[in-house]
Amino acid sequence: YDRLKTHDPEIYNLLNEEETRQQDSIRLIPSENYVSMAVREATGSCMTNKYSEGYPGKRYYEGQQVTDKIENLAIERAKQVFGAEHACVQPYSGSVANVAVYTAFADPGDTILALSLPFGGHLTHGWKVSVTGKFFNAVHYTLEDDSDLIDYDQIEKLALECKPKVIVSGATAYSRHIDYARFNEIAKKVGAAHVCDMAHVAGLVAAGAHPNPVPHSDAVTTTTHKSLRGPRGALILCKEEHAAKINKAVFPGMQGGPHMHTISAIAVALREAATPEFKQYGQQVVKNAKRFAEKLVELGFDVVSGGTDNHLVLIDLRPKNILGKPLAKALDRAGIVTNYNTIPNDPAKPFNPSGIRMGTPAVTTRGFKEEQMEQIAEWINEITHNVENDEVIEKVHKQVKQLCDDFPVPANFVNPA
């Protein structure tokens, strides 16, 4: 930030403060990561100066000699990494991508069927306060009572009853594999489009560490900044037959000019995602999450669904007699950053729910392995029993800082030669 130092010292200081926070804390928020310096350079590039409404070869402004080449590269790389027939790399965020896809397949007032938010769905899966719940008639499926797993028979029954135009698979807080083929089968049975929102697991899919929804979906949306380890943005992948309507739904349907600096950085992240190092990374994310969940169970925690298949671990804190918010706050004071979250059939209020949600993408990027995950589980256990004990929190905080010093965030992780 050399130029910022004199140009805007306030922002300079705050950015440095955040760099230090990210270096010195154990970041377990499952939707966060550390991107490479190469991705950061592309995000902060001259492309932030350019308008390019439209798509490659069909723009509404001149001066697109370079933008077209960059967007085409991003598209080709996205298609290759995920085995997709078509990719739109322009959505500003995962939320916008979801709204765009719904509008491509459904009209206002039509029914969409998706996972209920308190059971792990996202706001944009038709929750009432989201525009997706206001413009569409959202019907929600939940999880099986005993197992906390997706109940495909319930989804099929609901789909036959409500005849949705879109069935959404994918979640924001679900730690198990999803049977995308079954979702597609149900969707085809009722004449709906199957849309998968793979935002959380996209990096694992790219690495071959999680089933790929692309062959089983009419369209797949994803953010690019979670396990995929790119800039804050999104992609839509779809079958060629839907390409024109998906592109149209994004621009001019939802958006104006694409963020070409972000698209440049998405292209960089996708090149990284195609490397053998990234495959290893994805496998390690899953191994770390599995060991973390096992250790938490050994320590007496109630892990929702009993474990994990992906990067995410959700804990039901009720047996520990503590709510999610006070625990997340105490953990944050010890340098362990999590988020409080609802658990299936949560009796508590969403702003102070019964669970915490954690994930391994960011800590795996900085090199943590199973051994470090076991250590973190032990610290979480210690804090859980001492949320108001400043001494214990301070002691754990010192150990957390030492571990972070031992694993500095690397500038680059792969060698995309």
Which positions from 133 through 172 interact with ligand PLP, judged by CB under 6 A?
A: 170-172
ω into residue 252 within 30 of 0, thus cis?
Answer: yes
What residue number has its CB nearest to ligand PLP?
Answer: 94
223 binds ligand PLP (CB under 6 A): yes
376 binds ligand PLP (CB under 6 A): no
State how far the alpha carbon of 75 is from the alpha carbons of 51, 90, 139, 261, 268, in Å. 18, 10, 33, 14, 12
Q: How far is the CB of 303 from ligand PLP (least distance, A)?
A: 20
Instruction: Between 105 and 379, name the residue whose CB sits nearer to ligand PLP.
Output: 105
197 binds ligand PLP (CB under 6 A): yes
Q: Are strands 166-169 and 137-141 parallel, antiparallel or unpaired?
A: unpaired
Edge-first strand listing for the sheet containing 312-316: 302-303, 312-316, 355-359, 339-341
From 39-47, 90-98, 329-337, 360-368, span contacting ligand PLP (CB under 6 A): 90-98
* Residue 223 falls in the annotated catalytic set: yes
Tell me the one-letter amino acid at 217: S
* The token pair that represents 305 in the structure block: 């669904």
Asked if 120 and 172 count as a contact pair (C-beta separation under 8 A), the reply is yes
Instruction: Between 97 and 400, name the residue whose CB sits nearer to ligand PLP.
Output: 97
199 binds ligand PLP (CB under 6 A): yes
372 binds ligand PLP (CB under 6 A): no
Q: How far is the CB of 74 from ligand PLP (least distance, A)?
A: 17
Instruction: Between 172 and 284, name the residue whose CB sits nearer to ligand PLP.
Output: 172
Residue 123 marked in a binding site: yes
Tell me the one-letter amino acid at 299: L
Residue selected from 94, 118, 126, 324 as contacting ligand PLP according to rule CB under 6 A: 94
In this structure, the number of other CB atoms found within 10 A of the CB of residue 198 comes to: 32
Residue written as token pair 């340098």: 335
Q: How far apart are the first and last CA of the chain?
A: 28
Residue 378 marked in a binding site: no
Of the residues 221, 223, 342, 384, only one is catalytic, namely 223
In this structure, the number of other CB atoms found within 10 A of the CB of residue 19 comes to: 12
Of the residues 50, 176, 226, 229, only one is catalytic, namely 226
Cross-strand bridge partners of residue 235: 222
Tell me the one-letter amino acid at 33: N
Which positions from 18 through 77 interact with ligand PLP, judged by CB under 6 A?
A: 31
- What is the residue-wise DSSP string for 233-298? -EEEEE-GGGHHHHHHIIIIII-SS--HHHHHHHHHHHHHHTSHHHHHHHHHHHHHHHHHHHHHHH
Residue 230 marked in a binding site: no
Q: How far is the CB of 258 from ligand PLP (least distance, A)?
A: 15
Residue selected from 90, 95, 227, 308 as contacting ligand PLP according to rule CB under 6 A: 95
Binding mask 106-125 for ligand PLP (x = CB under 6 A): ----------------x-x-
Q: How far is the CB of 277 from ligand PLP (least distance, A)?
A: 25
Residue 122 marked in a binding site: yes
From 15-23, 89-97, 184-192, 253-261, span contacting ligand PLP (CB under 6 A): 89-97
* Residue 281 falls in the annotated catalytic set: no
* Residue 51 falls in the annotated catalytic set: yes
Cross-strand bridge partners of residue 150: 143
By CB atoms closer than 10 A (0-12, 13-18, 19+), residue 398 is exposed
Instruction: Between 95 and 305, name the residue whose CB sits nearer to ligand PLP.
Output: 95
Instruction: Between 35 and 404, name the residue whose CB sits nearer to ligand PLP.
Output: 35
Of the residues 79, 232, 287, 333, only one is catalytic, namely 232
Residue 117 marked in a binding site: yes
* Residue 226 falls in the annotated catalytic set: yes
235 binds ligand PLP (CB under 6 A): no
- CA dihedral 69→75→79→81, nearest 10 degrees, is 80
DSSP 3-state percent helix, strand, coil across the chain (nearest 5): 50, 15, 40
Residue ranges for the known binding site for (6S)-5,6,7,8-tetrahydrofolate are: 117, 121-123, 240
Tell me which residues touch ligand PLP (CB under 6 A). 31, 93-95, 98, 122, 124, 170-172, 197, 199-200, 223, 234
**Which positions are annotated as active-site residues?**
51, 53, 197, 223, 226, 232
